[in-house]
């Protein structure tokens, strides 16, 4: 087979494009919808429900494939988020408190307002209240992907503002999962999880340069945290925070690991999660289901709540004289960005899977997340395209 450098160069540029990860997840979500509503529906759900068991003596794990994806692969996803957070706090956008003020307050507003909208629309059904955090999250890959479609029409400062806001949003989501989405805590397993954590801290203090010991101890901690009742994705974040920024040779294990993991997370783990979790069963779906309290609360929280929270908090901080809008950014752009922040997808689906059990409830969660995220993406892109017109 002949080698075509032009074709290879095209695919290389395509993969490196900021929008590609978001487009790939969109295709995975579309595939999930098709599989869930076709003759392959039983096979699709059957594969996700297949039990996979790992045992060591009398101890082990036996979970459906769906939970291995949500508990195992998502721990790697959160591990990468932890690496990004640590790097940003030590040498990036989160290092200078003054640079964090405006997107930080916007992120807080963008979490509180969607929660309030969700609780207001589901107040007649108290059993739905456990999903209050579903619309609070922002999907970085999707939001940045939509923004990247606008190219140079929007100023670079707007992308930095969105990235910082989304990173802080992820930090808030991690804290919410750790504090509010654990089951009954088993203190014995939790105490055992402290042993590999202590080993990770010791390796960090020594400036260890080999990655394998960190991964091994992190995997052991993941198992103990899972058995303790706390969601195991937290183990991924804690492991990431123990990876040294600089080892004793002056090299950066954190940078190396983050760079190596990005393609696997963006092009494999995130699409697999979307394929496994976005399969909404549309058979027999009526308008009454779309406007039912749960999907309506999620969709309105993502689309309306994010606008109120992000735009309102940004406006208040600027008008109070505590900060200024980023260079080249106008208020219409802030409004469009507040809509893009309503693309919840990955994190919203993930928190939804922690909030409710049963296929019917998860179907309503998927419906609300997909509707809210899709409307937010289209509306945000449209407003930003209008805001970026010459002369505005």
Query: Which residue is associated with the tokens 């492991």?
Result: 239
Whether residue 14 is contained in a domain is answered as no
pLDDT over 90 at 388, yes or no: no
Mean pLDDT of the chain: 88
Residue 245, token pair as written in the block: 């920024």
How many domains does the chain divide into? 1
Query: Which residue is associated with the tokens 């940004």?
Result: 314
How far apart CA 283 and CA 354 sit, in angstroms, is: 24
How far apart CA 67 and CA 350 sit, in angstroms, is: 11
How far apart CA 386 and CA 392 sit, in angstroms, is: 8
Mean pLDDT, to the nearest integer, of 63-83?
Answer: 90
- What pLDDT does 392 receive? 53
Whether residue 376 is contained in a domain is answered as yes
Whether residue 218 is contained in a domain is answered as yes
- What pLDDT does 32 receive? 93
Whichever domain contains 233, its CATH number is: 1.20.1530.10
Whether residue 298 is contained in a domain is answered as yes
- What pLDDT does 13 receive? 66
**85-104 burial: b if 16+ Cβ within 10 Å, else e:** bbbbbeebbbeeeebbebbb
CB contact at 8 A, 357 and 120: no
Full domain range(s) for residue 265? 68-387
pLDDT over 70 at 3, yes or no: no
- What pLDDT does 288 receive? 81
Whether residue 270 is contained in a domain is answered as yes
> Which pLDDT band holds residue 1 (cuts at 50, 70, 90)?
very low
CB contact at 8 A, 33 and 39: no
Mean pLDDT, to the nearest integer, of 313-337?
Answer: 94
Among residues 361, 294, 277, 289, the alpha carbon closest in space to that of 129 is found at 294
Convert the pLDDT of each residue in 257-311 to its tens digit: 999 998 899 889 989 999 998 888 888 777 788 889 999 999 999 999 999 999 9
Residue 61, SS3 per DSSP: strand
- What pLDDT does 12 receive? 64
How far apart CA 142 and CA 19 sit, in angstroms, is: 8
Query: Which residue is associated with the tokens 């909208």?
Result: 117
Residue 136, token pair as written in the block: 């609070």
How far apart CA 298 and CA 114 sit, in angstroms, is: 8
Whether residue 45 is contained in a domain is answered as no
CA dist 263 to 16, 242, 257, Å?
9, 22, 11
**Ramachandran bin of 42, using left for φ above 0, alpha for ψ from -120 to 50, beta for the remaining angles:** alpha
Residue 146, SS3 per DSSP: helix
Mean pLDDT, to the nearest integer, of 227-233?
Answer: 84
Convert the pLDDT of each residue in 75-95 to its tens digit: 999 899 899 889 988 988 778
Whether residue 12 is contained in a domain is answered as no
Asked which of 13-27, 36-50, 268-282 is least confident by mean pLDDT, the reply is: 13-27
Whether residue 176 is contained in a domain is answered as yes
Q: Which residues pair with 54 in a beta bridge?
A: 61
Helix locations, 60-96, DSSP H = 65-67, 74-91
Convert the pLDDT of each residue in 153-211 to its tens digit: 888 889 889 988 988 888 888 888 888 887 667 889 989 999 999 999 999 999 998 99
pLDDT over 90 at 152, yes or no: no
Predicted structure pTM score: 0.82
Residue 382, token pair as written in the block: 């449209």
């Amino acid at each position: 087979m002949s080698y075509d450098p032009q074709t290879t160069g095209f695919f290389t540029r395509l993969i490196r494009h900021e929008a590609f990860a978001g487009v790939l997840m969109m295709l995975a979500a579309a595939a999930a919808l098709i599989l869930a509503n076709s003759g392959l529906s039983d096979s699709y759900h059957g594969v996700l429900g297949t039990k996979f068991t790992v045992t060591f003596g009398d101890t082990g794990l036996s979970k459906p494939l769906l939970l291995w994806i949500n508990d195992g692969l998502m721990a790697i996803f959160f591990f990468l988020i932890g690496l990004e957070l640590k790097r940003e706090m030590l040498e990036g956008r989160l290092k200078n408190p003054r640079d964090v003020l405006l997107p930080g307050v916007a992120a807080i507003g963008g979490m509180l307002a969607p929660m309030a909208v969700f609780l207001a629309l589901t107040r007649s059904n108290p059993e739905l209240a456990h999903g209050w955090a579903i619309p609070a999250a922002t999907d970085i890959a999707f939001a940045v992907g939509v923004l990247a479609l606008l190219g140079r029409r929007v100023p670079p400062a707007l992308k930095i503002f969105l990235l910082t806001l989304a990173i802080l949003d992820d930090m808030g989501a991690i804290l919410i999962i750790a504090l509010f989405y654990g089951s009954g805590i088993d203190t014995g397993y939790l105490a055992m999880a402290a042993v590999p954590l202590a080993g990770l801290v010791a390796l960090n203090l020594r400036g260890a340069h080999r990655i394998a010991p960190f991964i091994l101890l992190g995997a052991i901690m993941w198992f103990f945290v899972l058995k303790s009742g706390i969601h195991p994705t937290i183990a991924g974040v804690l492991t990431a925070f123990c990876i040294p920024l600089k080892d004793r040779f002056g090299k950066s294990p954190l940078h190396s690991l983050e760079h190596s993991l990005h393609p696997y997370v963006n092009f494999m783990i995130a699409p697999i999660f979307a394929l496994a979790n976005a399969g909404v069963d549309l058979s027999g779906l009526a308008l009454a289901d779309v406007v039912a309290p749960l999907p309506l609360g999620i969709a309105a929280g993502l689309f309306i709540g994010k606008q109120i929270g992000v735009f309102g908090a940004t406006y208040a901080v600027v008008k109070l004289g505590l900060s200024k809008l980023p260079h080249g950014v106008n208020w219409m752009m802030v409004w469009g960005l507040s809509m893009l922040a309503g693309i919840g997808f990955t994190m919203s689906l993930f928190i939804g899977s922690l909030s409710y059990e049963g296929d019917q409830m998860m179907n309503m969660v998927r419906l609300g997340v997909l509707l809210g995220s899709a409307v937010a993406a289209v509306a945000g892109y449209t407003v930003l395209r209008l805001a970026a017109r010459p002369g505005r």
